[in-house]
Amino acid sequence: MKLTLAQRWLKRFYPVPAALVRKRDALAATILKWSGLWPKVLKRYGITRNRGDLFAGGKEILALGNSTCHLCAYFETQDILGQWECMNTCPIVQEAGKSCYDCGSGYHYFLKTGDPGPLLRTLRRALKRQKGKE
């Protein structure tokens, strides 16, 4: 069976769901996903974006949130009131000094503009730091 363009995007940029990724691979998997979110890449695969939701053929194919974030799978907890919060050990928090939930984060910038650049730069710095510790 031939894959649709959207299925090819998922296979290339989101091959392992966040819930199944190994912790040591979470940062690289996050970088891979976000590298596929450039507007020209999404257009090439026939995908449109509405803030943090990706669509193809009028159907949602991926919601960009904590349930699809490879890092959140390991670095997020739920408080006593049921609110999700990012742990200080998250590579994004360690590198940027703020979580994706905070105003001014690379994630919020992406939601407003569709530009994944600031978050990708943070993620790549975090990967470089992580490799320096190995």
Tell me the pLDDT tens digit for each residue of 60-106. Answer: 999 998 889 999 888 877 666 666 667 788 999 999 999 888 889 99
Coil, helix or strand at residue 46: coil
pLDDT at 132 over 90: no
Residue 121 pairs in a beta bridge with: none
Tokens 């053929």 locate to 57
32-38 average pLDDT score: 98
**Which pLDDT belongs to residue 83?**
65
CB atoms within 10 A of CB 30: 24
Q: Domains of the chain: which residue ranges? A: 5-127
pLDDT at 53 over 70: yes
48-71 average pLDDT score: 95
Contact (CB, 8 A) for 33 and 116: no
Tokens 């894959």 locate to 3
Percent of the chain with pLDDT over 70: 93
**Which pLDDT belongs to residue 111?**
96
Distance CA(44)–CA(67), nearest Å, equals 25
- Entry pTM: 0.90
Closest CA to 125 of 79, 94, 85, 88: 94
Mean pLDDT over the full length of the chain? 91
**Which pLDDT belongs to residue 78?**
63
pLDDT at 108 over 80: yes
